[in-house]
Amino acid sequence: MERRVALVTGGTRGIGFGCAEALAREGWDLAVCGVRAEEEARAALEQLRGFGGEVLYVQADIGDDDAPGRLVSSVSSRFTRLDLLVNNAGVAPKERKDILDATPESFDRVLRINLRGPYFLTQAAARFMRDIGPRDARAGKCIVFISSMSATVASINRGEYCVSKAGLSMASLLWATRLAGEGISVFEVRPGIIRTDMTAAVKEKYDRLIDQGLMLQKRWGTPEDVGRAVAMLARGDLPYSTGQVILVDGGLTVQRL
């Protein structure tokens, strides 16, 4: 049996690295992308290679029009197959601003990277998955969208981010509906408050809220928590659940009195 291949966007840091590491531990070959030069990502890449699999790095901004084609072409050239796409790459607004003061430039940037990019990468990847067909009897092909609690929890100082994640949630439903007949499962993994570079600037705020009981489980989430959920889906452990949302939020979104 051939080794299975995953493409993880933003796979050298934060949640993306947590997903890539979880897959590497389970014997996957990886293609990861990021906006940094390969030399800047070398430490993360070597850590992933330490699990014994092949790791391809492609420098790409997922929001660029040519990125989907370049990424899928790179995977095709190196591995000739693709079994899993993890749409993880995303950005926060450069400045958190009240929605009364937000700018069109910030809105366009965030939606270009967080929504438009994954949408069309999924299109390119799904075409490739469909055309190469199955090669072994193991779990079928899978696409995962990493969204956020912000898909449903409003934050008025970063409205563009919330809108992008809500759109990504609908994209997951659309692609699940379209690709079920192609044998490709699609899931949304929706993290809560995860300790990453993106949340470092608001650490004190969330430390306080967590201590006050914001979540049922009183701790920060970690990239490893998200990675475990993705690995579960990649193994095919939920074979009859395409289109579903997997919450990794410590009980943050449980309604309570």
Lowest mean pLDDT, pick from 67-76, 127-136, 172-181, 248-257: 127-136
**Cβ neighbours of residue 164 closer than 8 Å, sequence gap 6 or more:** 90, 110, 111, 114, 115
Lowest mean pLDDT, pick from 107-116, 137-146, 155-164: 137-146
**Cβ neighbours of residue 213 closer than 8 Å, sequence gap 6 or more:** none
pTM for the whole structure:
0.96
pLDDT score of 231 more than 50 = yes
pLDDT score of 137 more than 50 = no
CA dist., res. 50 & res. 21, Å (int): 10
Lowest mean pLDDT, pick from 199-203, 204-208, 217-221: 199-203
pLDDT score of 1 more than 80 = no
pLDDT digits (tens, 9 = 90+) for 8-48: 999 999 999 999 999 999 999 999 999 999 999 999 999 99
Domains of the chain by range and CATH?
5-248 (3.40.50.720)
Q: What percent of the chain has pLDDT over 90?
A: 93
Mean pLDDT of 81-96: 96
Local confidence band at 197 (pLDDT 50, 70, 90 cut-offs): confident
Local confidence band at 134 (pLDDT 50, 70, 90 cut-offs): low
Lowest mean pLDDT, pick from 148-152, 167-171, 194-198, 209-213: 194-198
pLDDT for the residue numbered 133 = 67
pLDDT score of 198 more than 90 = no
Mean pLDDT of 138-162: 93
Local confidence band at 200 (pLDDT 50, 70, 90 cut-offs): confident
pLDDT for the residue numbered 116 = 98
**Cβ neighbours of residue 208 closer than 8 Å, sequence gap 6 or more:** none
Residues recognised as catalytic: 161
The DSSP code sequence of 112-165 is IIIIIHHHHHHHHHHHHHHHH---SSSS-EEEEEE--GGGTS--TTSHHHHHHH
| Phi, psi angles (nearest 5°) of residue 139 | -50, 145
In whole numbers, what is the pLDDT of the chain averaged over residues? 95
CB 48 within 8 Å of CB 55: yes
CA dist., res. 95 & res. 158, Å (int): 8
Mean pLDDT of 196-213: 92
Local confidence band at 140 (pLDDT 50, 70, 90 cut-offs): confident
Q: How far is CA 186 from CA 7, 57, 172, 191, 238, in A?
A: 14, 24, 7, 16, 11
CA dist., res. 88 & res. 230, Å (int): 11
Q: Kindly report the CA angle at 97 between 91 and 100, in degrees rounded to 5?
A: 125
pLDDT digits (tens, 9 = 90+) for 220-230: 999 999 999 99
Mean pLDDT of 185-206: 93
